[in-house]
Chains A and B, each alone.
Chain A
Amino acid sequence: MTKTLLKAAAFLAILGGLLALPRFMDSPYALHMMILLFLSVSQGESWNILGGYAGQHSVGHAAYFGVGAYTTMMLMQAKGIAPWIGVWAGVAAVIVVALVIGSICFRLRGPYFVLASIAVAEIMRLSAINLTGLTNGAEGILVTELPAFRIGGRVITDFMTKVPFYYLGLGLALLTLAVTWGVERSKLGYYFQAIREDQDAAHSLGIHISLYKNIGLVISAVLTALAGAFYGVYVGFVDPPTVLGLDLSVQIMLIAIIGGMGTLYGPVLGSLVLVPLSEALRSNMITDLLVKSGLVSADSKVGLFLKENLAHAHVLLYGILVVLVILFMPEGIMGFVKKLASRRRKEAV
């Protein structure tokens, strides 16, 4: 009982901190990184519901992200519909898309399901490129002006700073966490787990396999589409490779797997590692740090070499990280931590 209380208290403390953060932190760069972090958490949690809990490892989640982003942006650009209204059209569209995809892919298992999910996402990407009349093709959709958000004639926010996006992102991340928490504790979570562990056994227990797979997919797809709409509105620009590409599908899956699949906080941990790390690698902060700490002189051969190459090598380091995690922490960071904890407990006994 005390443990649950403690957990709740810790959660509330962190939440309170996050809610208050923009009051103390006025650096837009830091807020931007927080927004990217929230986005990553939402993507990872959404994938986790289908991939982690129900065990259907989709490598095509970019399709849902892209449908959410594109529908919202298209309606905003062509019809001037505000994104907080357009996003619901995006949700409706993604449910249809998810059910069509589900009806194709869920007939397949294991590697065949993975490949089918890739193929469907690629078809979506290529269609977005070719249907130029609808999507503006490879040129993408650019919307820089957002209408002000009003309630009863009162302007709540005009989206001129990062703060409204920060709270939107936070809300989205909390929503995905709450849905995951709900799924985990409900009968749904139990069915998902049964399907993940042994599909045939689940079937003989009388669980309607394709129904529950489709429910998992729709929940996951809708949340991913919300994240996509948020991305589109925040960045102000979408085009086929950035919101429908295979890279994005892999990235989404990576968040959950690095953090720990099928666990509530896994994707959060994954995001906490991946987002800062890729930013640090990209912007060469590691070299700066080494130079500042006096370990490497900026003008020395090593310093110059790092400066020249580290920025180019960050994808390489990313690849090495992925390989190391898979080889040495196959259950992700969450699994690794749990294993350590249980070992310690055993030692204590």
Chain B
Amino acid sequence: MRKHLLALGATLAMSPLMAQKIGVINSMSGPEAPIGESITNGIKLAEEDLAKKGIRVQLVWEDDTGKPQISMSAMEKLATRDNVVGVVGPYTSACSNAVSKLAQKYRVPLLIPAAAKEEITRQGFKYVFRMNAPADRYASSLIDASLTLGKPKTIAFIYENTDFGTSTSKTAKDYVATKGIQVVADEPYPKGSADYRSTLAKIKSKNPDLVFMVSYVADAILLMRQSREVGLQPQAFLGGGAGFTTAEFAREHAISENVISCTQWTDDVNWPGARDFGKRYKAKFGKDATYHAACAYESMMIMAESAAKSGSDRDKTQALLKAGKWNGIMGPVQFADYDGFTNQNNHPMLVQQIQAGGYETIFPKEFATKKAVYPFPRWK
């Protein structure tokens, strides 16, 4: 009898009909919750689409509240108590750093959807994978785009003094140094300041050719509003991802028109299913899909498919993730080893500009939908 049961168990485990137990670690409450919500929504859409494909998943949701030690609690629980096949998450770089060590230790495949810090996939961890392009790509794509559009000589930086803002700007400063562009202002600001006018006035007095900003949506709108107020007039405003790539930002026509930004994903790019994903997301959640949502969606799809194919086996899932190639809403995905990275998807960043209230891709050329407006027109 016991033998039979064991045999039955084994076949059930092999069968794709059995639900794949997959963990999700995400910042569902706490200061990172606004973005955590996009990630949750992306994963919920993935759950539906997986069911349509005949892959049943049983998701174990864990909230890390944005704190690394809580993220570790979640990973310990998922790896040793819930026995999940793989984990998608966490959102923040701090949490991802803390968790990736454990993923490697317990040999649980971990697919990080949207954390930007480069180091995460530079530690040689075989069980840690990352979907999004790391922070250095934000900067290089934007600077490369500006250099093809004009001849900027000086640049000013203003960015939130968080992990994301600091690391993105740091790589940007390194990158402009190699291109002979001079940094004339370097202003990290604490998130949630009500007044950036004095900082912007100071930047204006330096008359930079480029203004490089890294902020989330609320500060992005505030910074541009106040740039207009003080009459800051560079050749281009460059937004390093995040807030500058949201629909809310684009809707603020008066201040967002012609701002150039880079993103991991937009719904107008010609990657299979991207447009459709944007539409369905909007219909289901009543707001526009962000790149965080798209990264999370694609990460869950890939993790669940690999888990099902492996018959709920962690090592086999890891091997499948390492060997696989996909082409979905995030374009071609492959977890490769290059430039010191391990299992890093070499994802192309898209450079876009807001034209007539919508995002148009302007760089790299193969994805461009419109010609760029350069330099930035005079404020009205």
Contacts and interface: CB of A to CB of B under 8 A. Distances in A.
Contacts, number: 89
A137 interface: yes
Greatest chain A CB density within 10 A among B94, B105, B117, B165 is at B94
B341 to A, nearest CB: 16
A21 interface: no
Interface in A125-175: 126, 129-130, 132, 137-140, 142, 144, 160
B161 interface: yes
B112 to A, nearest CB: 14
A138 B98 contact: no
A237 B97 contact: yes
B255 interface: no
A210 interface: no
Contacts of A130: 161, 188
Contacts of A27: 80-81
A29 interface: yes
Interface in A275-298: 279, 282-284
Nearest to B102: A28
B199 interface: no
Interface string B23-37: 000001110000000
A315 B61 contact: no
B28 A311 contact: yes
Interface in A286-345: 311-312, 314-315
Q: Taking chain A's interface residues, is the majority helix, strand, or loop, or is none over half, making it mixed? A: helix
Interface stretch (B11-19, B70-78, B137-145): B70-78
A242 interface: yes
B73 A33 contact: yes
A36 interface: yes
Contact of B29 (A144, A160, A239, A315): A315
A235 B81 contact: no
B166 A138 contact: yes
Contacts of A140: 94, 97, 163
26 contacts: A27-B80, A29-B73, A29-B76, A32-B73, A33-B73, A36-B73, A126-B190, A130-B188, A137-B161, A138-B161, A138-B162, A138-B163, A139-B166, A142-B97, A235-B68, A235-B69, A235-B98, A237-B68, A237-B94, A237-B98, A239-B94, A242-B67, A282-B65, A282-B73, A311-B28, A311-B61
Given A29-B80, A32-B73, 6 more contacts: A29-B77, A137-B166, A138-B163, A140-B163, A235-B72, A236-B98
